[in-house]
Amino acid sequence: MAGFEMARPHPTLTITRLTFLEAARRRIALAAFVLGRAFLVLYGIAFYFIVHETGLPGPDDPAGALLRGQVYNFLGLMGLYAVNFLTIAMGALVAADTLAGEIGTGTVQALVTKPIQRAEIVLGKWLGFAGLLAVYLLLMAGGLLGILYTLAGYTLPNVLTGLLLIYLETLIIMSLTLAASSTVSTLATGGVVFGLWGLAFIGGFVEQAGVLLRNDTVVKLGILSSLILPTEAVFRRAAYLMTSPVAQSLGFASGPVFVLSVPSEASVVYGALYLLALVMLAVRQFNRRDL
């Protein structure tokens, strides 16, 4: 038809596609996928021998079904803890120099000189990284859950909700990295992100110790760390939801470390608002940045 022009894609979606493809081709992402595959292979071999050669009650023993369920639940959460760490590390590393590095080399000027808003650049990159993290988490968690079901016929409870919370945690770390990268150098970004993540991680242990020792001051210090960065609280909530009903009835979550202080649903809402604030901060800082 005369005068018909094909609609051009929105600049944000174009940057999203380019960011996803570029990040997927980087050596950091490749290393993450290789390490993830190696982890699943090692986990599958170890889980096989645990199931078949550690004296667990067999399927013909109804009385041992409860014990088997607790062991499988514990091992499944241990595996997801490792998947969670790998996904967080990937999100932080691939996004660390996306803005700071391009500003330092001057390549970002090729974008800002075009009819495109800086906010569209930030949002496009955020969506691209979010898509890559979603693919990685689905592959890793899907492989781990497949091992559990294939070798033991076991499925974690509330697994979909738990995985969504883990994804929220990884998005918070990635968004924090993007916000820092829009403000400071790549090296400083790494220091800020892993420093805050370490603070939240240690704060989680402090809170559990406070509950165990019945020390309200120590518990409040742990809660304060989760307000500074809510990643650990979000993961502990996810772990609780995927914990077996028996352990839940006792008031704790199992996994690599038993969680005696279970975060409430409010921690998830706070994490979502925190994520939104980080994205807005990244846009604001990049708008103000002298390129």
Q: What is the pLDDT of residue 103?
A: 67
Question: Mean of the pLDDT values across residues 12-24?
Answer: 85
Give residue-wise pLDDT tens across range 232-247: 999 989 988 998 887 7
Give me the pLDDT at residue 3, please. 44
Decide which of 216 and 102 is more confident.
216
Contact 210, 217 (CB under 8 A): yes
Query: For residue range 218-235, what is the model confidence (pLDDT) as tens digits?
Result: 889 988 999 999 999 999
* 44: nearest Cα among 138, 155, 146: 146
Please give the backbone phi and psi of residue 6, each rounded to the nearest 5 degrees, phi first: -70, 135
In the predicted structure, residue 58 carries a pLDDT above the cut 50: yes
What one-character-per-residue DSSP string does 76-108 give?
HHHHHHHHHHHHHHHHHHHHTTTTHHHHHHTTT
Average pLDDT (25-42) is 90
- What does the pLDDT read at residue 158? 93
Degrees, nearest 5: CA angle 70-84-150: 50
Q: Which amino acid is at 255?
A: G
User: Of residues 70 and 272, which shows the higher confidence score?
Assistant: 272
Closest to 152 (Cα-Cα) out of 262, 52, 28: 52
pLDDT greater than 60 at residue 154: yes
Helix (H, G, I), strand (E, B) or coil at 259: strand
pLDDT at 32 over 70: yes
Categorize the per-residue pLDDT at 77 as very low, low, confident or very high, splitting at 50, 70 and 90: very high
Please indicate, yes or no, whether the overall pTM of this predicted structure exceeds 0.75.
Answer: yes
Question: For residue 164, what are the contacts with CB-CB under 8 A and spacing of at least 6?
Answer: none
Residue-level pLDDT at 5 = 47
pLDDT attached to residue 209: 82
* C-alpha 83 chain-centroid distance: 8
Residue 63 confidence (pLDDT) above 70: no
Mean pLDDT, all residues of the chain: 85
Whether 233 contacts 271, CB under 8 Å = yes
* 169: pLDDT strictly greater than 80: yes
Write the Ramachandran bin of 129: left for phi over 0, alpha for psi from -120 to 50, otherwise beta.
Answer: alpha
pLDDT of residue 256: 59
> What pLDDT is attached to residue 195?
93
What digits encode the pLDDT tens for the residues 93-145? 888 887 776 666 666 655 555 667 888 888 999 999 999 999 999 999 999 99
Q: What pLDDT score was predicted for residue 4?
A: 43
